[in-house]
Copies of this chain bind each other. A is one copy, B any other.
């Protein structure tokens, strides 16, 4: 099969790799209907993580080709969505809603879903099938559910967004934008998107943002404070993962408020005294997307949300290098790859 490899930072190619096969009775093999490049793929692309001939991609939707002997909930021909963390969905941690920390967790990154086929471990716990084959125009939205929608949704839940909340969103990538959508769906009254890019501001508004703040850092915090009677937002979604974005989130939150942080943390050191005196709640990490999949897939099927709009560029899998470049240079928000 054809599959994407990151040879080294900044270097992506599409190569022949052996077709995956069932290795464990709990595995399924899927044929990718669509895959994509994640903001977190840019960390190794930009040299923040070591990378050498690594299979890439952890977002996926597709058709089940084959299942292992122990798989009972999906069957060949099903259209399925899964998360970037394969989980058994039965252990104590999964049952508490933290499937991304399942005691049997498998990261999909090592497998690489930017490919024609992929092996999905723990298929019963990981994959959720649609009742019927979805309309083609819904495929991008289901693909978004696999990571960026599920992650933005988790961030909003982690930030305790409730009906009537004032929410600020730090980060205008796909996750931040879908955090806006999640906040809207969860009933937030005021949603302040922090963005300085016109195209992203516009999509943020489409997803439900009521206000835009272009300032960052101290000025950004001051703007949020000014809009909230000096108190700060009830809920802040952090979807970047840098020191500046984390502190911007913490400082934009009112006492007793909540920060939901989902930007993969790079080089962040949180000063304990600042956190102590802020009196905020902090929760985040790799999103347990599986917790939210049935609900999110239902909202997509009913067409009440359209998260697929974050894909503003679609390319054939063979052009993966262009996809990475577009996201790195921020000429695209998120690129869908067609195998």
Contact = CB atoms under 8 A, between A and B. Distances in A.
B279 A273 contact: no
Contact of A269 (B255, B266, B270, B288): B270
A101 B276 contact: no
Nearest to A243: B272
A254 B265 CA distance: 19
Given A255-B98, A281-B283, A268 B265 contact: no
A256 B256 CA distance: 19
Interface of A: 92-93, 96-98, 100-101, 103, 229-231, 241, 243, 246, 254-256, 261, 264-273, 275-286, 288
Given A269-B271, A269-B272, 17 more contacts: A92-B229, A93-B255, A98-B279, A101-B255, A264-B276, A265-B272, A265-B273, A265-B275, A266-B272, A268-B271, A269-B270, A276-B284, A279-B284, A280-B285, A281-B281, A281-B282, A282-B283
Contacts of A269: 269-272
B279 A100 contact: yes
Given A101-B279, A268-B273, A270-B275, A254 B93 contact: yes
Contacts of A256: 93, 96-98, 101, 288
A283 B255 CA distance: 11
Question: Looking at chain A's contact residues, is the secondary structure mostly helix, strand, loop, or mixed?
Answer: mixed
A272 B285 contact: no
11 contacts: A92-B229, A98-B256, A98-B279, A103-B231, A256-B288, A261-B276, A268-B272, A276-B285, A279-B284, A279-B288, A282-B283
A136 B271 CA distance: 43
Contacts of A101: 255-256, 279
Contact of A92 (B231, B270, B284): B231
A282 B250 CA distance: 12
Contacts of A272: 241, 243, 246, 265-270
Contacts of A276: 241, 261, 264-265, 268, 284-286
A279 B286 contact: yes
A264 B284 CA distance: 23
Nearest to A278: B285
A279 to B, nearest CB: 4
A280 B103 CA distance: 15
